[in-house]
């Protein structure tokens, strides 16, 4: 059973936490508004996540029902955010900013030993930072879901609960769903093998079908890449940071996780060389540092980067203003840059960070660079992976087209 605390006391604790994290006055005003309304709704009752959910349903009924667009949608987003923040603070004693939280989590006591043991096992097994954060994030979401259902121990997990939890993933990409289910399956197996649960609850999880790469990757021409780069506003600290990051992705094809993990020791300025240990493959990769990317990094370090002791080159610029390592896919930033550059966006396609990597590979192919060299540049563990990009090399495919003999009767 989790701690008992009045709604008013929990709101006060979280408000003090937000002030300590140096949230802006505008953000604090929005949080306080929802706090006061929730306190009035709950009265002298103890907090529970279900009470927060009931408050949201009551509030949205007052607003005329839940909407996803229009003038009320942003207002509703703040209500969701504040009530979810209360649930996270109540369960973990901390706050998560999106999915890039990299601090210490105090796991609820019934889940503490099994969760910390599992994550330590994953680290010792050699998992990447990306996989570690993914596992931690999905376990956090699971605990919040179980708490909202009144379940505070893994032995309370049922097939119906796992079915409902899986339904919360509807709308995510199939590969993301598969990754989350895989992480949960490993977590539940660890719990059963180490006797934290009485039954193998991983059997309650569905097995998503294996999906081959059936979609063509999104790519940009060399001209569009330059448009994208030149559209970034480098007059602000965040713009300087994003400009340097996107240049590294466009020029070198580095994965976003490897760029954000860069430290000062990873760049040899004398040799103009950048060396990373890839998070995905755990293999080292050394590449020449392009001049424009190098100067962009220098500009960010001199004129944009907050003062911090963290060794990472790229750090956060928002609350809690501790200059902690920056963790983001930058998808939103890329989409904004595409709009500013006037590059048309096909809503049926995905324009994430990997589009820069895909574009570099495809443009190198069209400049007649062989697949094995491209594989070396991108740091593939298997050279055959580069052949994935051959499918979008339209000019190369045209050279493979066979001439078809046209019979005289067809011409007639």
- On the 0-12 / 13-18 / 19+ scale of CB atoms within 10 A, 76 is middle
Residues 124, 206, single domain; the answer is: yes
- On the 0-12 / 13-18 / 19+ scale of CB atoms within 10 A, 157 is buried
- The CA angle 368-373-379, to the nearest 5 degrees, is 135
Sheet of 284-288, strands arranged across: 267-268, 273-277, 284-288
Q: Which of 359, 334, 336 is nearest to 217 (CA)?
A: 359
Residues 189, 312, single domain; the answer is: no
- Is 380 among the catalytic positions? yes
The one catalytic residue among 72, 84, 354, 391: 354
The one catalytic residue among 101, 196, 300, 389: 389
CATH of the domain at 346: 1.10.443.10
Residues 177, 234, single domain; the answer is: no
Q: Which tokens is 283 given?
A: 């293999």
Q: Give me the pLDDT at residue 67, please.
A: 47
pLDDT in tens, 173-208: 788 888 899 999 999 999 999 999 999 999 999 886
Tell me how far apart the alpha carbons of residues 292 and 247 are, in angstroms, rounded to a whole number: 8
* Domains identified in the chain, total number: 3
- Phi and psi at 47, nearest 5°, equal -80, 145
In a domain, 403, yes or no: no
Residues 108, 123, single domain; the answer is: yes
In a domain, 216, yes or no: no
The CA distances from residue 51 to 63, 84, 165, in Å, are 19, 12, 19
- Is 72 among the catalytic positions? no
Residues 53, 105, single domain; the answer is: no
DSSP state of 232: S
Low-confidence ranges of the chain (pLDDT < 70): 1-2, 63-75, 97-104, 208-217, 319-330, 346-351, 371, 380-412
- Is 357 among the catalytic positions? yes
- Is 389 among the catalytic positions? yes
Q: Please check whether residue 162 is in contact with residue 200, taking contact to mean a CB–CB distance below 8 angstroms.
A: no
**Region for residue 308 given its phi and psi (left: phi exceeds 0; alpha: psi -120 to 50; beta: otherwise):** beta
Give Cα 367 to chain centroid, integer Å.
Answer: 33
Residues 86, 100, single domain; the answer is: no
Q: Which of 361, 367, 404 is nearest to 385 (CA)?
A: 361
In a domain, 347, yes or no: yes
Residues 237, 373, single domain; the answer is: yes
> What are the DSSP calls for 397-411, one per residue?
HHHTPPP-PPPHHHH
- Is 51 among the catalytic positions? no
pTM score > 0.95 for this model? no
Residues 242, 281, single domain; the answer is: yes
Tell me how far apart the alpha carbons of residues 112 and 93 are, in angstroms, rounded to a whole number: 13
Residues 150, 228, single domain; the answer is: no
In the block, tokens 């990597």 appear at: 357
- On the 0-12 / 13-18 / 19+ scale of CB atoms within 10 A, 237 is middle
Tell me how far apart the alpha carbons of residues 316 and 131 are, in angstroms, rounded to a whole number: 21
Tell me how far apart the alpha carbons of residues 379 and 393 are, in angstroms, rounded to a whole number: 20
Residues 179, 134, single domain; the answer is: yes
Q: In 3-state terms, what secondary structure has residue 274? A: strand
The one catalytic residue among 136, 140, 305, 357: 357
The one catalytic residue among 30, 72, 152, 280: 280
Q: Please check whether residue 297 is in contact with residue 313, taking contact to mean a CB–CB distance below 8 angstroms.
A: yes
Q: Which of 308, 248, 295, 235 is nearest to 275 (CA)?
A: 248
- Is 255 among the catalytic positions? yes
The one catalytic residue among 134, 251, 327, 380: 380
- On the 0-12 / 13-18 / 19+ scale of CB atoms within 10 A, 235 is exposed
In a domain, 411, yes or no: no
Q: Give me the pLDDT at residue 133, please.
A: 82
- The CA angle 353-355-359, to the nearest 5 degrees, is 135
In a domain, 349, yes or no: yes
Tell me how far apart the alpha carbons of residues 86 and 91 are, in angstroms, rounded to a whole number: 9
Residues 169, 108, single domain; the answer is: yes
Q: Which tokens is 271 given?
A: 């040799």
Q: Give me the pLDDT at residue 390, please.
A: 56
Which structural domain, as residue segments, surrounds residue 142?
Answer: 96-211
Total Cβ atoms within 10 A of residue 310: 16
The one catalytic residue among 255, 305, 327, 358: 255
């Amino acid at each position: 059973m989790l701690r008992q605390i009045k709604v008013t006391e929990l709101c006060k604790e979280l408000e003090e936490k937000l002030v300590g994290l140096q949230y802006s006055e505008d953000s604090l005003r929005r949080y306080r508004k929802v706090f006061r309304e929730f306190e009035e709704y709950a009265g002298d009752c103890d907090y529970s996540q279900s009470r927060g959910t009931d408050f949201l349903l009551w509030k949205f009924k007052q607003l005329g029902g839940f909407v996803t667009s229009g003038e009320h949608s942003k207002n509703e987003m703040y209500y969701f955010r504040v009530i979810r923040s209360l649930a996270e603070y109540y369960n973990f004693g901390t706050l998560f900013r999106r999915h890039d939280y990299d601090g210490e989590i105090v796991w609820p006591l019934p889940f503490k030993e099994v969760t910390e043991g599992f994550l330590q096992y994953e680290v010792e097994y050699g998992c990447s930072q990306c996989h570690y954060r993914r596992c931690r994030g999905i376990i956090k979401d699971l605990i919040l879901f179980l708490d909202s259902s009144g379940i505070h121990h893994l032995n309370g997990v049922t097939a119906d609960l796992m079915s409902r939890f899986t339904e919360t993933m509807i709308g995510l990409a199939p590969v993301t769903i598969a990754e989350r289910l895989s992480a949960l399956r490993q977590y539940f197996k660890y719990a059963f093998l180490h006797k934290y649960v009485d039954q193998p609850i991983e059997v309650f999880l569905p097995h998503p079908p294996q999906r081959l790469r059936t979609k063509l990757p999104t790519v940009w021409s060399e001209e569009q890449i330059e448009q994208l780069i030149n559209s970034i506003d480098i007059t602000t600290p965040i713009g300087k940071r994003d400009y340097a990051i996107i240049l590294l992705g466009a020029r070198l094809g580095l994965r976003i996780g490897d760029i954000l993990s860069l430290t000062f020791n990873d760049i040899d300025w004398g040799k103009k060389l950048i060396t990373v240990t890839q998070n995905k493959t755990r293999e080292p990769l050394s590449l020449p540092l392009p001049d424009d990317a190098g100067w962009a990094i220098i500009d960010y370090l001199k004129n944009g980067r907050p003062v911090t002791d963290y060794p990472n080159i790229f750090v956060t610029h928002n609350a809690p203003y501790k200059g902690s390592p920056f963790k983001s896919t930058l998808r939103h930033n890329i989409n904004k840059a595409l709009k500013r550059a006037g590059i048309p966006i096909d809503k049926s396609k995905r324009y994430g960070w990997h589009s820069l990597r895909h574009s570099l590979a495809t443009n190198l192919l069209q400049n007649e660079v062989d697949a094995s060299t491209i594989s070396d540049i991108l740091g593939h563990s298997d050279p055959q992976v580069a052949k994935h990009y051959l499918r979008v090399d339209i000019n190369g495919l045209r050279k493979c087209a066979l001439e078809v003999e046209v019979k005289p009767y067809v011409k007639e």
